[in-house]
Amino acid sequence: MILVVGIPSEPPVRLVLEAAEAQGIEAVLLNPREAAHADLCLRQTGGRARLTLHRAGEQRELSEARGVYTRLGIPDTLPEYRSGTAEERARIAAWHGLLNDWMETTPIPVLNRIKDCNSNMSKPYQARIIAECGLGVPETLVTNDPEAALAFRARHGTVIFKSVSAHRSIVRRLEGAHLARLDRIRYLPVQFQQWIDGTDIRVHVMGDALFATRIETEAQDYRYADSEDQEARYTATRLPPAVEEACLRLSRRLDLPLCGIDLRETPDGRHICFEVNPSPAYSCFEDQTGQPMSRAIALWLETGKCEEGRAQERTG
């Protein structure tokens, strides 16, 4: 039995549930939108914290799960929390807190624990680890000094800017209207990076399985190609063995068995890494390429292995 934590209409959650069913793996769903009416009981027994679910007359020992896949967000984003009574909001918040505490401390494998996701809270810190694992990183400047940013731009010709932290931001070149507003960075540090020519490759690692997707687009940020009136074409691809091994090494170093690694392949064949996403929305890549990422997740949670998923990607 595996435990899936998340809203079932969210594609990454839905695909894992469907993959588990297709493989005959029992999956218990914990839906945060039902938190106000599903009781969790955490107790210490025999030196081990045990978590029990009480819901609609059902009782399940969640500590018997072989693995946990979580897409648990924060409670105040839920409609049930925003529209609930004070008691309901307190129950939902307590439900999230109890579940997070258990996932952080249980010996059961979890994809992924909060503490292991924290490397993404600092892009410069993460970049240092990326480089230590054998992948190239772009020249980077973090500053709130407009003059330093201009000097960096003059040195590299074309630069982009984005968030320093895990807060999602749209990658844009420092030019035009953005350049005219540069003085505003005095109020908070911004990350600037040299522009890297080449083709984006998103690598999803799941244990020992690796799924690489090439993204062909003229957009500055392929995630928002539509907003630039551009197309983005996704195709499964292969990476050089040394790059594959570096990606697997990076996943292990960050304690992120599941992660999304953003690379760019340069015209001269180098692979530059921008960052590692610790909770990747892999579903759009699976939908576009047919690579069995959700199957690999379900198998890893149940068995601790998913070499079969990697073999399928390599021969598909």
Global pTM?
0.88
pLDDT of residue 166: 63
Domain presence at residue 214: yes
What share of the chain has pLDDT > 90, as a percent? 71
pLDDT of residue 141: 93
pLDDT of residue 185: 87
pLDDT of residue 225: 67
Contact of 258 with 209, CB cutoff 8 Å: no
Asked which of 43-47, 52-56, 289-293 is least confident by mean pLDDT, the reply is 43-47
| Structure confidence by residue, pLDDT tens digits, 192-229 | 999 999 999 999 999 999 999 999 876 667 665 666 77
How many separate domains does the chain show? 3
Are residues 218 and 181 part of one domain?
no
Cα–Cα dist 272/102, whole Å: 37
pLDDT of residue 102: 94
307 vs 243 pLDDT, higher one? 243
Domain presence at residue 38: yes
Helices (H), the chain: 11-22, 79-82, 86-105, 114-117, 123-132, 146-156, 176-180, 241-253, 283-289, 293-303, 307-315
Inform me whether the pLDDT recorded for 313 exceeds 70.
Answer: no
Inform me whether the pLDDT recorded for 311 exceeds 60.
Answer: no
| Structure confidence by residue, pLDDT tens digits, 234-278 | 999 999 999 999 999 999 999 999 999 999 999 999 999 999 999
Inform me whether the pLDDT recorded for 294 exceeds 50.
Answer: yes
Cα–Cα dist 185/188, whole Å: 5
Cα–Cα dist 47/103, whole Å: 16
Inform me whether the pLDDT recorded for 298 exceeds 80.
Answer: yes
315: left (phi over 0), alpha (psi -120 to 50) or beta: alpha
Q: Return mean pLDDT, the chain.
A: 89
Are residues 92 and 147 part of one domain?
no
Domain presence at residue 210: yes
Average of per-residue pLDDT across 37-46: 86
Domain that holds residue 262: 199-315
Domain presence at residue 133: no
Are residues 185 and 98 part of one domain?
no
DSSP state of 267: T
Average of per-residue pLDDT across 285-309: 88
| Structure confidence by residue, pLDDT tens digits, 176-189 | 888 888 888 898 88
Unique residue bearing structure tokens 């999803």: 204
Are residues 144 and 101 part of one domain?
no
Question: Of 111, 129, 161, which residue sits at a domain end?
Answer: 111
Helices 293-303 + 11-22 axis angle, to 10 = 60
Are residues 98 and 81 part of one domain?
yes
Asked which of 45-54, 60-69, 131-140, 223-232 is least confident by mean pLDDT, the reply is 223-232
Are residues 159 and 106 part of one domain?
no
pLDDT of residue 169: 72
pLDDT band, residue 308 (cuts 50/70/90): very low
